[in-house]
Structures are given as structure tokens and as C-alpha cells.
Chains A and B, each alone.
Chain A
Amino acid sequence: MLKRFIVVLVISMLLTSAVFAGEVLNFISTQMDPAAEQKFAKGVLLKGYTDETGIKAEFITMPTYHDMFIRLSAEIAAKKVTISLVCDLHGGLDLMNAKGLFDDLTGIALPDRTFIKALEDYSVMAGRKVYVPWMQATYIMVVNKKAFDYLPAGLTVEDVTGASEKWTYYALLNWSKNLKDAFKGPKLGFPMGPKGLWHRFLHGYIHPSFTGYQAAAFDSLRAVKIWEYLKELLPYLHPSSSVWGSMDDPLLKEEVLIAWDHTARLKTALIEKPEDFAIVPVPRGPKGRGYITVAVGLAIPIDAPQKENAIKLIDYLTKPDIQVKILENVGFFPTVKEAEGAIPVGALKILATGVLAQSGAADSIMVMIPSLGAKSGEFTATYRDVFTKIVVEGADIGTTITEAADKLRAIFKEVGVPLL
């Protein structure tokens, strides 16, 4: 009798879990991985979606693109797809699309919202609408307003905030010198720690600003100037930069007065002390003002078990009020124009104004992070290693960049991506 009861119980548990498992929409993402962001994604975003539609959704984070690619491609190959919605950076979505993992979203109906045209254009690949732009981010400079008292001669606050031609990398160098003299210590900082995004500055900001390219002119004469410049800048860089993963804390503690970092990683400083900081566009180099736009998109895998519900989730996640909630909680900017007017006055408005000033500068050179998949780590490590060798250890510039340029070309060739 007891045995029969246990058998019935186990079978009914299995059946129940199978039924419920079938109802849950699996939403897989490489973004919003930190614990606080996951809490927001699960407790606010998906809860709101469930409350509105009655559809249960599960938010599953993947540490890297590589992990996501392995899982998704394995499920599709085995014809046992459990994932209905995918979130990743433009580069990752581009690569997965090249492997034929996504449905064409051409004609997807998302009424009452206008997507930013540049992002909309990027989401269409070879005539196929691969993803819906969901969030965007960039990297900017934050200045503690105290630092404006030490601007070098000839440079005004308006030059810096308005991205004038005078706001150059050499002006930043002179400004940093003034700050070091005044405060008896370096006051310029970058997130150079292992978890910092310093490599993005090297390939996406200073390289395009000096050479016009991220990697294509890595061993050019113009690139030599970059490393000479960084060697000159080194004494004015806060030494602890090499352990900092994000710049919000050093800014709040006034360890640095000028810093560069990802918008999401500067949000805390701006929320805590909005009056103390100004968001300014990055300086320009001989070729212009290089900056990265990070586009995050939503794609639906082929054979997704809940395609209709996934479209409903895309519709929900791109609503202007939800986009503002995302900005408030995670620091990613909206992709729909209707959301801009809904951003409340305060830290986020300051952040949004700075971002717009950077992207709206006449000399701006917008770049996207190259789609190098599993090789992206090797790509970014090359820039970091060259910096360490030349600037910190004093290696010869010519020899080092020639070797590194060969390595970069090989990476692009292996992945089959045009050299940027």
C-alpha cells in the first residue's frame, strides 16, 4: 500500500513539474549578471510581465557569450530548444545569427515606440531583422566639479562640457598635471583592474581618436603617438587604477577627480552626489572623438517553444516606462525615443545629458565592440598587455606594437571578421 502511494506520488510530482516546466518562458541573458541586477530582472521586470500577461518567465544569466552560445547551439542541434528569448550584446547576437540560431523578426509589431535609427539599422543583418534593440550604454568621463578650478590655460568649462575642439587628450594631460600639483597626488583614474574595462578605452576611445580605427592601424605612426602620450600621462594616473574595477567608489571618496568608465559603473556616484559631478564627453584626438556604443538586443531562437509569448515579452521590455525603470536600476539607456522625455530630473538626467553630448559631438567617431566571440578575451588582452609592456615596463614601442598588430590581424582573420 505504502509502495503504491509512493509510486503515485512520484509520478504525479514528475507530471506536475513537467506541466509547469512547459509553461515557463526561459529568458537567457549575458547582461544583468550581478546579484543586484538579477534581483531587479527577476523581481521587477519579469514579475511585472507575469502580472500583466499571466505568463511565467524565468531569467537565466550566462557568465559569458561563450557559455550562452554553447547552450543555445546544443539545444538547437538536439532539437530540444527550451529557450524562448535571448539577450546579448550586438557582437554576440551577430555571431550567433551567423550560425543560423535566430528567427527573422522582420515585421514584428511593437506599436507606439520609435527605436533610435542607428541601433535599428545595426539590428538588421543581410536583410534579416535579427534582434530588437533593448538597451544601450557607453563609456563617459566624470569630472568632480572641484577639478574645474584647475583647468589648463585656454580651456574653459564650456569647452569640456560642450566637446569643443580645444578639449583634446593633450588638454587632459595638462589638466591632470595641474591637479597633481594642486592636490599633491594624481587625480586622474581609469578602471585598470582585472574586472575593469580599461581595454575598452584603449581600443574604442584612444585608438579611433588618434588613428581613426580600433585595430586596423595598430602599428601605424599615428598609433606610436598613442603610446608616447600614455607614457607621458602615466605619472598623473592614480596608481591604484590597476586594482580598480569600477570608478564610482574612487570618485565618491575623492581619490580621483576625473575618471572614465562605463555609464552603469558610474551610476552610484551620480545618484549619491549628483551635485558634485559633471558628465563630460571624452576628449578628442587628431582624428576625432572616438567612443563606443554598446547595443544590447533581444532575439528569438529558431524553434523557440514560446515564440508568441517571447514577442509579448519583447513588447513589454521595450515599453518607454520599463526602459526608464531599467535606466534607474541598471544604468542602461533607453533605445526608444519616447522614453527620453520620461527620465526624471536628477542623476540620471545628468548622465543622459552627458551621453547625448558625447554622441552628438560633431567630431564623434562611433564604434561598436568587434564581434569576436570566444576570441574577444584575446583581443582585449592584447591591448592591456601592450600597455603594460610599453608604458609600465618600458618596452620598445615599435617592436611591441608590430608584434601585437600581427596578433590582432590573426584574431580577426581566424574569426572571419573584417579588421576594424
Chain B
Amino acid sequence: MISFSRGEKNWMPYLLFLPVLIYLAGFVGYPLIKALGIAFTSEAGKLSFENFITLTRDSTFWKALKNTLLFLIIIVPLQVILAFLLALFVNSRFKGYMTILYIISIPLALSDVSAALMSYNIFTSHGFLNKFLMSFGIIETPIYFFGLGLSSRAFWVIVLTELWRATPLVFVILLASLQMISKDYFEAADVFGFSSWQKFFYITLPLTMPSLQSALLIRTLFAFQIFGVVWLLSGRDIPILAGEVYYQQAELNNFQLAATYGFIIALICIIISWVYITFLKAKHLELKK
């Protein structure tokens, strides 16, 4: 008989947690372990590094890694800076700030595929942008933003689309954090004659650091999952890691290489998460002995 009474072993928390645990073990844990096993299994079914050797000898892997990291390096800092500025702007609570808040948040409701299709309709040779420029006589022939041999242009269209699509997520996290900062701090700063910059660096920034850390972590991990936008706007002209997982699995039926790509993405994500957690600790929350 299971007892839930005080003084005896209380099983209730474990029972409440059990369904989630079973779900995670079955739908996340098992596939994860299985994928790990496949990544380290050769085509002959033996335990080996064969898949990793095959991958590193393939120039597409290095291109995919380079492109993924480039997207990460360019998109994530821009998103954080832009989101911070927007959050500070909205947090000033000017008249009509709620309308601006809703407008900024609209892309949160969009899937990456919808965002990519909207972007396609803007930038395609017969898209809104070209039509607009041509109707005002600014250009005579359409500008091609993506396509054969135009991967560098497509790269910037993708950056722009991702900035528009995913910045609101960082914005919402940072705005929530800014709204939680007590006004007492700023009133005290006024008493001590702090300038606006001093208030930002000594109050706002340290107090939003935990949220900033979460936002950075989420966006960085999401940047490694970037797939739909790139796939729709450039196909495989710009190979990326997540795209190669899909390509190997769905198009080539190569489970081993798909799992190996997946393993490498997971490994990089774990390393980056560790770096963030270690180096972006919110020091003001630490109790030093």
C-alpha cells in the first residue's frame, strides 16, 4: 500500500512526475540513445568512427558547418542588440506603446515556413520589392536576390528573414525582465546623480543578465536548428547542418550520416550552452563565501 502520509516515504511527487518521465524516456531518451548508437555504427553494423570519417571527408559538411556558424555569429548578436533596444523603447511606456508591442510580437505567431514564404514573395524577381522599385523607375530589370550562383545574396535575405521572425522571442524575454526591475533602484540612482548610461550599465544590464543568458541560450540553440527558412529560400545552395540531417535522412535514406550530423549538432549545442552558463553567470545573484 502506497502511503502519502507524513512521516513515511512520500511517493506523491514521484507519481506526479512519472508520466512526464515515461514520455521523455520514450520519445526523447530512447531516440536520442538510438541515434547515438547509429552514429557510431558502420554500414557493416560494427562499432566505429567510420561515419565521422566519411563526414569530415565530405566538403559539404564543412560548408554546412561554416554556414551554420556564420548564421549564428551574425544573427544572434544582431537579434539580441535589436531586441534589447526595442525592449528598452517599449519599456519607456510612451503613449500607444501597447500597439507597438503587438506589432513587434506578430512574427511570434508565424512558423518559419510562413516567414520564408512571405520573404520569398517580397524578394523574388517578380516580388513586391522588385515591383515597387520598377514602378518608381528606380530599376529597369528585376534584381535577383536568390538562386543559381547567388548564394551570397540569398545569405543576407535569410539573415533579414530570421531577424524579423525570431527577434520578438528575445524581445519578449527581455521586456519581461525589464518590467520586473524595481523603480526603487532608479530612484536611488537619481538621488546619487547617476547618468542614463550609468543606470543602464550598473542597474539595467546586471539585473537583466539572467534573462539575457536565457535568451542567448535559446536563440543560439535555435540557430542550430535553422532549417525551413534556408531550405525554402536557397534549397541546398547554402548547406546548413540541420538541412543536411534532413537531406541525408529523407532524401538519401542514409540514417548513419543523418544521425552523425545530429550528434555533431547536439555536441556543439552542449559546448555552447556550457560556455554561456559558465561565463554569463548573473554575478549579483551569487552568494560568495
Whether, in the assembled complex, B125 has its beta carbon less than 8 Å from a beta carbon of chain A, the answer is: yes
Q: A residues 239-267 with Cβ under 8 Å of B?
A: 239-243, 253-255
| Distance of A129 Cα from B268 Cα, bound (Å) | 53
Interface range for A: 20 to 34
Which one of B141, B147, B251 lies within 8 Å of A239 (CB-CB)?
A: B147
- Interface size counted on chain B using CB atoms at 8 A: 26
The reply to whether B237 and A242 contact each other, CB–CB distance below 8 Å, is yes
Partner of A392, one of B148, B233, B234: B148
A residues 159-198 in Cβ contact with B at 8 Å: 184-185, 192-194
Question: Which segment of A116-124, A283-291, A373-381, A400-408 sits at the interface?
Answer: A373-381
Inter-chain contacts of A380 with B (CB < 8 A): 251
Verify if B281 is at the interface (C-beta below 8 Å from A). no
Contact in complex: B126, A255 (CB < 8 Å): yes
Whether A234 sits at the interface, judged by CB under 8 Å, is yes
Residues of chain B within 8 A of A239, CB atoms compared: 125, 144, 146-150
Q: Are A238 and B252 in contact (CB under 8 A)?
A: no
A193 CB contact (under 8 Å) in B124, B149, B235, B247? B235
Q: Tell whether A381 pairs with B148 under 8 Å between CB atoms, given A242-B235, A243-B234.
A: no
| Chain B neighbourhood of A241, CB < 8 A | 147-148
| Chain A residues, CB < 8 A from B120 | 243
Closest chain B residue, CB of each to CB of A254: B126
- In this complex, which of A63, A239, A254, A375 has the most chain B Cβ atoms within 10 angstroms of its Cβ? A239
Chain A residue at minimal CB-CB distance from B144: A239
Q: A242's contact among B126, B142, B148, by CB below 8 Å, is which?
A: B148
Is B111's beta carbon under 8 Å from chain A?
no
Q: In the complex, which residues of chain B have a beta carbon less than 8 angstroms from the beta carbon of A64?
A: 250, 253
Instruction: Give A95 Cβ to nearest chain B Cβ, in Å.
Output: 13
Whether A194 and B235, one on each chain, are in contact in the complex, defined by CB atoms closer than 8 angstroms, is: yes
Query: Could you say which of A242, A253, A377 contacts B147, with CB atoms under 8 Å apart?
Result: A242
Q: Which residues of A contact B147 (CB under 8 A)?
A: 238-243
Given contacts A194-B231, A243-B232, whether A234 and B141 have CB atoms under 8 Å apart is: no
**B54 near A: Cβ within 8 Å?**
no
Of the candidates A242, A243, A377, A384, the one whose C-beta lies within 8 Å of that of B253 is: A377
Q: Does B236 contact A (CB under 8 A)?
A: yes
Interface: B254 (CB within 8 A): yes
Closest to A67 in B: B253
Residues of A within 8 A of B250 (CB): 63-64
A220 to chain B, nearest CB (A): 26
Known: A192-B148, A241-B147. A185 touches B142 (CB 8 A): yes
- The residues of A that contact B8 with a CB separation of less than 8 Å are none
B144 interface neighbour in A66, A184, A192, A240, Cβ under 8 Å: A240
For residue B141, which residues in chain A have a CB less than 8 angstroms away from its CB? Answer: 184-185
Query: Which residues on the A side are within 8 Å of B184 (C-beta)?
Result: none
A234, B150: Cα distance in complex, Å: 13
Residues of B within 8 A of A57 (CB): none
Tell me which residues across on chain B come within 8 A of A378, comparing CB atoms: 252-254
Residue A237 is within 8 A (CB to CB) of chain B in the complex? yes
Chain A minimum-CB-distance residue to B233: A243
B140 partner, pick from A184, A194, A374, A381, beta carbons under 8 A: A184
Jot down 9 A-B pairs with beta carbons below 8 A, ordered by A: A64-B250, A184-B141, A192-B148, A194-B235, A239-B148, A243-B232, A254-B126, A255-B124, A377-B251
What is the interface of chain B, defined by CB distance below 8 A to chain A? 120, 124-126, 140-142, 144, 146-150, 231-237, 247, 250-254
**Nearest 9 pairs of A and B residues by beta carbon:** A239-B147, A377-B252, A374-B253, A240-B147, A184-B141, A239-B144, A377-B251, A239-B148, A194-B235
